[in-house]
Chains A and B, each alone.
Chain A
Amino acid sequence: MERVAVVGVGSTRYSGAQEKTEVELFAEAATEAIGESNLKPADIKALFLGNALGDFNEGQGMLQAYAADNIGCRNIPANRYEGACASASMAIRDAFIWVASGFYDIVLAGGVERAATMGTGLATRTFAMFSDARYEYPAGVTFPAVFAMLAHLYADTYKIPLPKLREQMARVSIQSYNHGSVNPKAQFFTKNANMPVEKVLGSFVVAAPLTLHDCCPFSDGASAVVLASEAAAKKLTDKPVYLTGVGQASGGPLVTQGDFLPRLRAREISSRQAYIMAGLTPQDIDICELHDCFSIASLIAAESLGFFEYGKAGEAWEKGEADIGGRVAVNPSGGLKAKGHPIGATGAGQVHEIVKQLRGEVEPERQVEGAKNGLTDTLGGDGGTLVNLILQRGW
């Protein structure tokens, strides 16, 4: 198997509803990534594109073919990946496998979404399509409702009084807002810094106990990465970031996961695959972009990824152990909460952040000094799809 490196990344700013099409958004991110790689569109052998809801975003299916043509990657094979919020990470993992196999030497991967453009009603409806349409949606389940139920279950499982847990969850949002406020690519850049706990707890309730500030926003945006074989990478950059571990796992409807909840079994399988492949342990990870679609989701993820004991992640956030300078820097980009969550692009946005961090190219206020090893964690649905990627500095 060939070693595979990320040789270039690009991303639009993530935002609320905006007027560029999905092709236009992805073209911006992709052209930046190709340019940063010192390549031309004609050098790209294949496109792997995450896009969860393009059909609903703007009535556009088969986006990948039009996107490839639009950026000048003429007639290359182009595949679309739909794994709800993990779509782009699935795309990157498959792109990795094809380069690692030696079939391609240079490929483009990434994702795009206009979730905010849909508005709250349609976005809530279409996101709910990632729950079981026959056995769960009829009860009116929404994504906030899934994680609201996991929050109550988490409080009950680990015997944490709900008011205490809610305060710990608020600390998660506050940390993410602080990081996002100094990230120019973030939806909430310059906004929401130093939000008081009371404001998080007192904002309107979306699905009890989750308030507005426990929930990530709906977002528009695109991100892209160029992957190359080690031989190709060495000719293109003196700062290759190697993709050294990948994992992906699936799960059935939420109700079938009952005895394992609030943990998500797919995450534990996926992250274990990635750690074993990279030859690393959770203690080796300096920086992690994890799937904080809701504040409680960060606690659940950080525990399953091996950073903190089960039931103790909230305490870790309170002590700053999940912050820059702590035991592991979680979501220095602002995460889904503050950077934004254009679902088909999110995993590529996470890789974008890790690569920029490992290269030492982010704003000083949120730079994780000396970071060598990074992990991404992307969740699709409520445990239906889980992808983890490990990235390591190659110089």
Chain B
Amino acid sequence: MERKLIFKDYNEALKQDRLLGLKCRDCGAITLPPAMVCQQCSGKDLEVAEMKGSGKIRTFTTVFVAAEGREDEVPYIIVMVELDEGPWIMGNLDGVDPKEASMELIGKKVKMGHKVFPGDKYSAGESASPLFSLDG
């Protein structure tokens, strides 16, 4: 069975601020991150679909202790965002002081851009990642 969306293509699109997922032609659910079959019904009839890139923050944290090689990035905010299309996605939040991040962020609407993690000796190359900012 042909895979409809591999990481390489997802990554290239995200670098152009286009967030790709898979829409199930059987049940209509969106699968993101991309997978072989529908996350909801395990159906195989999937088509690539572009997300609007908007959603709301469901949870967050500010990271103060970094992994090896990422010491210069702290402190930074990670958010889990529920996209308008349904799936949750992990990314960073821009435009808010990491030390001021509070529970008030939960429920806030965000829109998506991207950043690129250049990779380290373990990561088999770079990966683009959603970079959100508060919407309005």
Using a CB–CB cutoff of 8 Å, the interface residues on chain A facing chain B are: 120-122, 124-125, 128-129, 132-142, 144-145, 148-150, 152-153, 155-156, 162, 204-210, 252-256, 258-259
Contact = CB atoms under 8 A, between A and B. Distances in A.
Contacts of A253: 33
A125 B67 contact: yes
B89 A142 contact: no
A395 B20 CA distance: 59
Pairs A-B, 10 closest by C-beta atoms: A258-B88, A148-B61, A138-B117, A138-B129, A121-B68, A125-B67, A138-B127, A153-B59, A125-B68, A135-B33
Given A120-B65, A139-B92, 15 more contacts: A124-B68, A128-B67, A134-B7, A141-B78, A142-B65, A149-B78, A152-B61, A153-B58, A156-B58, A204-B64, A207-B61, A208-B62, A209-B61, A210-B61, A255-B80
B134 interface: no
B129 A124 contact: no
A140 to B, nearest CB: 6
Contacts of B78: 139-141, 145, 149
Contacts of B96: none
A135 B106 CA distance: 21
A207 B98 CA distance: 11
Interface in B15-35: 32-33, 35
B130 to A, nearest CB: 7
B87 interface: yes
Interface in B62-80: 62-71, 73, 76, 78, 80
B65 A156 contact: no
Nearest to B31: A256
B33 A139 contact: no
Contacts of A136: 90
8 contacts: A125-B69, A135-B89, A136-B90, A139-B90, A142-B67, A208-B101, A256-B39, A258-B80
Interface string B3-22: 00001000100000000000
Contacts of A209: 61
A341 to B, nearest CB: 16
Interface string B22-60: 000000000011010001000000000000000000111
A255 B88 contact: yes
Contacts of B11: 134
Interface of B: 7, 11, 32-33, 35, 39, 58-71, 73, 76, 78, 80, 82, 87-92, 101, 103, 106, 116-117, 120, 122-124, 127-130
Contacts of A144: 61, 63, 65
Contacts of A124: 65-68
Contacts of B69: 121, 125
Contact of A254 (B90, B106, B124, B127): B90
Residue of B61, B70, B71 with most partner-chain A CB within 10 A:
B61
A86 to B, nearest CB: 21
A269 B49 CA distance: 32
B64 A207 contact: yes
Given A208-B101, A253-B33, A140 B70 contact: yes
A148 B71 CA distance: 19
A162 B60 CA distance: 13
Given A149-B61, A255-B33, A255-B87, A140 B66 contact: yes
A210 B63 CA distance: 10
